[in-house]
Amino acid sequence: MALKETTNNQKQGSYTAKDIYVLEGLEPVRKRPGMYIGSTGVDGLHHLVWEVFDNSLDEAMAGHAKNIEVTLLPDNRVRVRDDGRGIPVEKHKQTGKSALETVMTTLHAGGKFGGDAYKVSGGLHGVGVSVVNALSIWLKAEVIRDGDIYEQEYERGVAKKPVKKVGRAKGRGTIVTFEPDPEIFQEISFDWEKILGHLRQQAYLTKGVKIAVRDERNPVAVEGQKESVSGEYTFYFEGGIISYIDFLNRGEETKHKNIFYIGKEQQGMFVETALQYVDDLQSREMSFANNIHTVEGGMHLTGFKSAITRTLNDYARKNGFIKEKDDNLSGDDVREGLTVVISVKIKSQELQFEGQTKAKLGNPEARTAVETVVNVEFSDWLERNPLDARQIMEKVILASKARLAAKAARETVLRKGAMEGLTLPGKLADCSSRDPSESELFIVEGDSAGGSSKSGRDRRTQAILPLKGKILNVEKARLDKMLASQEIRALIIAMGTAIAEEFDLTKLRYHKIILMSDADVDGAHIRTLLLTLFFRYFPQIIDGGYLYIAQPPLYKIQKSGKAQYAYNDGEKDKIMEEFKKMSAGPEKAKKKKAAGEWEVSPVGGDSEEESSLVEAAENIDAKISGVSIQRYKGLGEMNPEQLWETTLDPQNRVLLQVTVKDAQEADKVFDILMGSEVLPRKKFIQTHAKTVQNLDI
């Protein structure tokens, strides 16, 4: 019996001391990089730059550096230089190695855990630069201290040689140059705009520090200069976060002239806040802890929200803007149209983040500190600036009235749905499946396209909701006006999630919501209006990965009974090129053309467009015989079989999933494209006009 048990254990695999692995040095980082930088995708790649840059910024926040330079070099290399004190190079007592090598090759080693080297910093965990070293195929550290230059090179986190002195130099500072490891990152491509945005933000948060950014990857020769030059920006802001508010509100109509600002020491931390209201329905709330953007907020943002709600309610009652019998202003009321930057500086040893990527601040004392400062200082500011205070109160009172009206309208919509026994909109051709994971809702443009879609769909899993005309532009409309739109109400009831406070993603009836509009200007406009609706009122659907855009073909190209579909002009040219290679030659082609075997027949176009297309085809594809090109102007021109084959069939169709990587930038673009201001939209169109393809005029 014992022998049998041993045999079974051997079959199952033994588990002894030799099966216990100890990862030494930086091996854990290379084994599980996502634990340290979030991911090995685009965000993780750029996180390497932020980690090295943060070390230089910590020197600036400590008052030891005034200049930081970030350079993108050829061969996927990045160089970060500062004029701080320089990383120490003498032997470290605990490790027996140079302090520079210790910092570069040891996790949780640095000057931010104790002592007075860094009272405030973002590099709490002490893994920043060592993680970058571990995930780089090559890294070089150079230090200038006491008139000497020291350097050391590393490969995948391992020092090639000891730290050595290589010469003399004036000044001081640290230079780190690294090249990310292609074994870790599948795609290595640094985003110039992303880096510019991040470093601009850091310059606003650290006033008086100059941050230079250069892109030397693809130098371009400039006339009159001997050497080639490339992208270069320098950021320097004396105004700090006041300048940041101005930047965030550019192109917006502000509701009051003066920006509220306070910077004050409270409970051992430095609290900075600046705010201004604009004529908008959304808020922009930017929170930072030790210059790290806490994208998920945290205790400091919670403290601010509590303070501003209480302060404006107290001011409103004290000055007669709301009566005793009236309800209080809600948090949403006081934050509608608000642009605010909250920045706290906390002692490095006390800083608490939730997760290594530092997305949310966890210090409870930050809530109390921010709440106390904003309560006292914002109340005082409102008293000292009565005109600004009145303009702010008019904005938030209007938001409160609109909220109550929207609540009534929303309840009406929901009550109507309940009274009708949850009857779905009459125009909705629903699917028979009740499993959301396999159900799809196609939102189509017009009754004509709706008819073809309903006939061509898979009735078991595909539902069709045709919308009449263009829906309301919700960028300019409040919720109560939006809910008065019959088309939008039909969409909300069809999805089943409700809206605003009652929104429940678990009740979503379809896990694929597909926008399907014509491939022309009107279709693009309708698609943009729908995207605006989802971005503003159903962001959870986008975040959940449930929103898609259908890609109907532009052309049907036939030859000898064989049909191919082209989704853009580029694909059409490739197909025509294939047919050209198959053709019998120019002489034979001319004869066949004369015999009427070759034709171009756009569908739905007028005679001018038809002749234009024929002429274009004759110029480009004159050698192709027996070819028929059908140009679709709308989904309604496709018969049900064609629509199924090209756009509805899961085996053949092309869908684009809608995602939002940068919510702040997306918010700005929607403001420009769908807002009331004409000049920013005109400038945007002029800037991007040359990049537009398939422009239908």
Confidence of residue 610 (pLDDT cuts 50, 70, 90): very low
Residue range 454-474, pLDDT digits in tens: 999 999 999 999 988 788 888
CATH number attached to the domain at 27-235: 3.30.565.10
**Residue 407 predicted with pLDDT over 50:** yes
Residue type at position 529: L
- Choosing from 518, 621, 645, 671, which is the catalytic residue? 518
* pLDDT at position 136: 95
| Residue 363 vs residue 229, higher pLDDT | 363
- What average pLDDT score do residues 101-124 get? 62
Q: Which of 95-109, 302-316, 505-519, 624-638 has the lowest mean pLDDT?
A: 624-638
215 annotated ligand binder? no
Confidence of residue 285 (pLDDT cuts 50, 70, 90): very high
Q: Which residues contact 385 (CB under 8 A, 6 or more apart)?
A: 256, 258
CB 122 within 8 A of CB 128: no
* pLDDT at position 239: 92
**Residue 526 predicted with pLDDT over 50:** yes
- What average pLDDT score do residues 603-611 get? 40
CATH number attached to the domain at 241-393: 3.30.230.10
**Residue 658 predicted with pLDDT over 70:** yes
* pLDDT at position 143: 95
* pLDDT at position 24: 52
* pLDDT at position 679: 63
Closest to 655 in 3D by CA, of 552, 579, 522: 552
Q: Which residues contact 399 (CB under 8 A, 6 or more apart)?
A: 332, 333, 334, 336, 337
* pLDDT at position 614: 41
The CATH number, out of the four listed (3.40.30.10, 3.30.365.10, 3.90.280.10, 3.40.50.670), of the domain defined by the range 424-536+664-691: 3.40.50.670
* pLDDT at position 664: 58
What's the angle, vertex CA 657, arms to CA 651 and CA 659, rounded to 5? 165
Q: Which residues contact 317 (CB under 8 A, 6 or more apart)?
A: 324
- What average pLDDT score do residues 187-193 get? 93
CB 628 within 8 A of CB 557: yes
Confidence of residue 186 (pLDDT cuts 50, 70, 90): confident
- What average pLDDT score do residues 185-212 get? 93
Compute and round to an integer the Cα radius of gyration of the chain: 31
DSSP state of 120: B
H-helix or E-strand spanning residue 81: strand 77-82
Residues of the chain with pLDDT > 90: what percent? 44
Residue type at position 392: I
**Residue 296 predicted with pLDDT over 80:** yes
- What average pLDDT score do residues 369-373 get? 97
* pLDDT at position 682: 64
Helix spans in 112-239 (H): 128-134, 192-205
CB 534 within 8 A of CB 541: yes
Closest to 694 in 3D by CA, of 569, 556, 516: 569
* pLDDT at position 678: 60
- What average pLDDT score do residues 336-353 get? 89
**Residue 403 predicted with pLDDT over 80:** yes
Residues of the chain with pLDDT > 70: what percent? 78
* pLDDT at position 611: 39
Closest to 463 in 3D by CA, of 506, 433, 497, 486: 433
Residue type at position 99: A
Show me where the domains of the chain are located.
27-235, 241-393, 424-536+664-691, 555-631
Structure tokens at 237: 């802001």
Structure tokens at 151: 């350097």
Confidence of residue 612 (pLDDT cuts 50, 70, 90): very low
Q: Which of 19-33, 70-84, 639-653, 654-668 has the lowest mean pLDDT?
A: 19-33
Structure tokens at 153: 């090179």
* pLDDT at position 410: 72
Confidence of residue 532 (pLDDT cuts 50, 70, 90): confident
Confidence of residue 606 (pLDDT cuts 50, 70, 90): very low
**3-state SS class at 167:** strand
Confidence of residue 25 (pLDDT cuts 50, 70, 90): low
**Residue 16 predicted with pLDDT over 80:** no
Confidence of residue 613 (pLDDT cuts 50, 70, 90): very low
518 annotated ligand binder? yes
The answer to whether residue 520 is catalytic is yes
Q: Which of 234-248, 262-276, 485-499 has the lowest mean pLDDT?
A: 485-499
Residue range 411-451, pLDDT digits in tens: 766 665 544 444 577 789 999 999 999 999 999 987 777 88
Confidence of residue 295 (pLDDT cuts 50, 70, 90): confident
445 annotated ligand binder? yes
Q: Which of 257-266, 556-565, 596-605, 676-685 has the lowest mean pLDDT?
A: 596-605
Residue range 33-91, pLDDT digits in tens: 888 888 899 989 999 999 999 999 989 988 899 999 999 999 999 999 999 999 999 88
- Choosing from 54, 445, 475, 621, which is the catalytic residue? 445
* pLDDT at position 427: 84
* pLDDT at position 448: 75
- What average pLDDT score do residues 96-122 get? 68
Closest to 608 in 3D by CA, of 697, 519, 517, 693: 697
CA distance 213 to 68: 9
**Residue 350 predicted with pLDDT over 60:** yes
**Residue 695 predicted with pLDDT over 60:** no
Partners of 152 in the β-ladder: 141
The answer to whether residue 380 is catalytic is no
Confidence of residue 667 (pLDDT cuts 50, 70, 90): low
- Choosing from 216, 438, 522, 667, which is the catalytic residue? 522
**Residue 680 predicted with pLDDT over 80:** no
- Choosing from 151, 280, 520, 645, which is the catalytic residue? 520
Chain-wide mean pLDDT for the chain? Answer: 81
H-helix or E-strand spanning residue 269: strand 269-277
Confidence of residue 377 (pLDDT cuts 50, 70, 90): very high
**Residue 14 predicted with pLDDT over 80:** no
- What average pLDDT score do residues 119-139 get? 73
* pLDDT at position 521: 75
Structure tokens at 66: 């005034």
